[in-house]
Amino acid sequence: MKEWFKNYIWFIIYSGAVVGAVTFSVGNLDYDWQWGSIPSYLVSVQNGLKPGPLLRGVYITVQISLVSIVFAFLFGLVSALLRMSNSFVARLISYGYVESIRNTPLIVQIFFMYFAVAPIFDISAFASAVTALSLFEGAYLSEIIRAGILSIRKGQWEAAWSLGLGRVQTYRYVILPLAMRRVLPPLTGQGVSLIKDSALVSTISIYDLTMVGQSIVSDTFLSFEVWFTVAALYLMMTVPLSLLSGHVEKRFAVH
């Protein structure tokens, strides 16, 4: 915990130094800073204390990210197990899914899901965004989980089989628990990537943090203030996960 807190303090110091350097550089542009306008977009005091548009955007971003990471893990786990099955068809399906997703841009997948798939199945923009993000991140999680399974020594399989466990029971009680310990740090890191990738859902008119920032800038022309604030809000979401990933990696390190 002390190491985690120390890293967090150093991050704040480095971030402050970067912000200070950028502010100094922008100062040479003779820019009229209007930071006093930003708090009203974070917290609204009209009719009681309520979240402002930026915090409501944070809520949508977190909501999309949490739902997507759950489904991404399920897609990744199923795909990894299919890739390692004895069925040629299952391996082909998994291979096709992973390669097609990893070799096409996420924004293209979001557009395809929203403009081509969503009208057919009558799903909302939110569901389209979650599906696209889940499939995209699931393809990467699939390879991470598969690598974790392959890293388990053959003796673990033989020990499980000698106890009379079937293939499903071996995966459930022996292999997957061991593999998850090894892949938990990169899985946590992938969650950070998902939060950042979720910014692309603004392209299909979902009012997440990025979309709200664009809307405010177009109305007020407070480009620097708004985007600095948006960046800070994203950092507040991703930095704890990054630090958690490092802590988990040290905690579950396999020697």
Let me know if residue 238 belongs to a domain.
yes
Rounded average pLDDT per 10-residue block, the chain, 255 residues:
65 74 66 82 81 92 94 95 91 94 94 94 93 95 92 87 85 86 84 91 91 92 88 88 72 58
Q: Which residues pair with 43 in a beta bridge?
A: 51
Q: So what's the pLDDT on residue 29?
A: 63
d(CA 79, CA 81): 5
Instruction: List C-alpha distances in Å: 102 to 95, 97, 136, 137, 143.
Output: 11, 8, 7, 9, 11
| Number of compact structural domains in the chain | 1
Let me know if residue 119 belongs to a domain.
yes
Let me know if residue 27 belongs to a domain.
no
Let me know if residue 2 belongs to a domain.
no
Supply 139's token pair: 């393809």
d(CA 244, CA 251): 10
In terms of Cα–Cα distance, which of 201, 15, 2 is closest to 111? 201
Q: So what's the pLDDT on residue 63?
A: 95
Going by their DSSP bridges, the two strands 43-44 and 50-51 should be labelled as antiparallel
Q: So what's the pLDDT on residue 172?
A: 86
Q: So what's the pLDDT on residue 220?
A: 87
Let me know if residue 7 belongs to a domain.
no
- Whether the CB-CB separation of 68 and 137 falls below 8 Å is answered with yes
In terms of Cα–Cα distance, which of 248, 215, 228 is closest to 53? 215
Residue 57 belongs to a domain with what CATH number?
1.10.3720.10
Whether this prediction's pTM lies above 0.85 is answered by no
The DSSP letter of residue 210 is H
Q: So what's the pLDDT on residue 213?
A: 93
Question: Phi/psi at 142 (nearest 5 deg)?
Answer: -60, -45
d(CA 68, CA 132): 9
Domain range spanning residue 114? 32-251
d(CA 144, CA 184): 9
Q: So what's the pLDDT on residue 44?
A: 80
d(CA 161, CA 165): 5
Let me know if residue 25 belongs to a domain.
no
Let me know if residue 19 belongs to a domain.
no
Let me know if residue 51 belongs to a domain.
yes
- Whether the CB-CB separation of 252 and 206 falls below 8 Å is answered with no
d(CA 60, CA 48): 21
